[in-house]
């Protein structure tokens, strides 16, 4: 591993501060109303230092979305091994609802990202990439499950992946608007049961083969950067 120089470390830390500030300001003010000056002030850096890392607000937006993709991939890959399909679904649901609480409990940024993507093609491109990354990862996991006999072989895995992902992202949007109306503990069981009915093959599964296949999906994360460093 190549050791960071002190200037490289400081540059990485400054970049992280700027991204954190942009997340806060975009969420509070909205993308269109937020200014570079506000973000720089929130980050505690000069305008020039911000422009050194990001040439425009659009680049900040894209970096935030890309960082979220990397973080989410890393967190899912760190889930503990499962002993059955139901166990895997339960672990995924618990992770997702915890993620929902942690990232979106009082943070309007998530809704702002989707709203901006609906308005502007450049933002839509970044969010579409985020959606495709998530759906592709779930689809590949379902294909592994079919090979192991855990997932029924007549399932349209692309359609199922879109359905699963849209369900969870939809809950994020519900939570953003009405956090008190989304009871994670109450929803986990019904979500797991409905997904199991959709996916199950009705035969004795090879859970070990399924687990090995799922683990292999995470050997090459979609982002070249670690989640701590963020995208370039």
183-213 pLDDT, tens per residue?
Answer: 878 888 999 999 998 998 555 555 666 666 6
State whether 109 and 21 are in the same domain: no
Q: How far is CA 108 from the centre of its chain?
A: 16
Per the structure, the complete domain to which residue 32 belongs is given by 1-55
Domain boundary among 15, 39, 55: 55
CA distance 124 to 114: 8
| Spatial contact of 176 and 104, defined as CB atoms under 8 Å apart | yes
Residue 199, phi-psi category: left (phi > 0), alpha (psi -120 to 50), beta (remainder):
alpha
Residue 224 resides in a domain: no
112 closest CA partner among 19, 13, 26, 204: 26
Please give the model's pTM, rounded to 2 decimal places: 0.70
Residue 227 resides in a domain: no
Most confident of 8-17, 87-96, 211-220: 8-17
* Residues 98-136 pLDDT 10s: 776 665 544 677 778 888 888 888 889 888 988 888 888
DSSP code string of 125-194: HHHHHHHHHHHHHHHHHHHHHHHTTSB-TT--HHHHHHHHHHHHHHHHHHHHH-GGG--HHHHHHHHHHH
CATH code at 24? 1.10.10.60
Residue 173 resides in a domain: yes
State whether 19 and 62 are in the same domain: no
State whether 124 and 79 are in the same domain: yes
């Amino acid at each position: 591993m190549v050791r960071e120089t002190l200037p490289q470390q400081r540059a990485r830390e400054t970049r992280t501060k700027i991204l954190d500030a942009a997340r806060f300001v975009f969420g509070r003010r909205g993308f269109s109303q937020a200014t570079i000056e506000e973000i720089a002030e929130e980050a505690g850096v000069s305008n020039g230092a911000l422009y050194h890392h990001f040439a425009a607000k659009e680049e900040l937006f894209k970096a935030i979305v890309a960082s979220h993709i990397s973080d989410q991939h890393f967190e899912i890959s760190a889930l503990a091994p499962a002993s059955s399909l139901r166990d895997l679904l339960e672990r995924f649901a618990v992770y997702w609802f915890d993620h929902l609480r942690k990232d979106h409990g009082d943070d309007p940024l998530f809704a702002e990202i989707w709203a901006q993507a609906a308005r502007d093609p450049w933002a839509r491109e970044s969010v579409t990439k985020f959606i495709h990354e998530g759906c592709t990862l779930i689809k590949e996991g379902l294909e592994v499950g079919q090979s192991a006999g855990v997932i029924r072989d007549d399932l349209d895995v692309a359609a199922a992946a879109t359905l699963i992902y849209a369900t969870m992202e939809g809950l994020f949007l519900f939570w953003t608007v009405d956090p008190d109306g989304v009871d994670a503990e109450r929803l986990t069981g019904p979500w797991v049961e409905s997904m199991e009915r959709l996916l199950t093959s009705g035969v004795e599964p090879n859970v070990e083969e399924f687990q090995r296949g799922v683990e292999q999906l995470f050997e090459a994360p979609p982002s070249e950067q670690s989640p701590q460093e963020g995208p370039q």
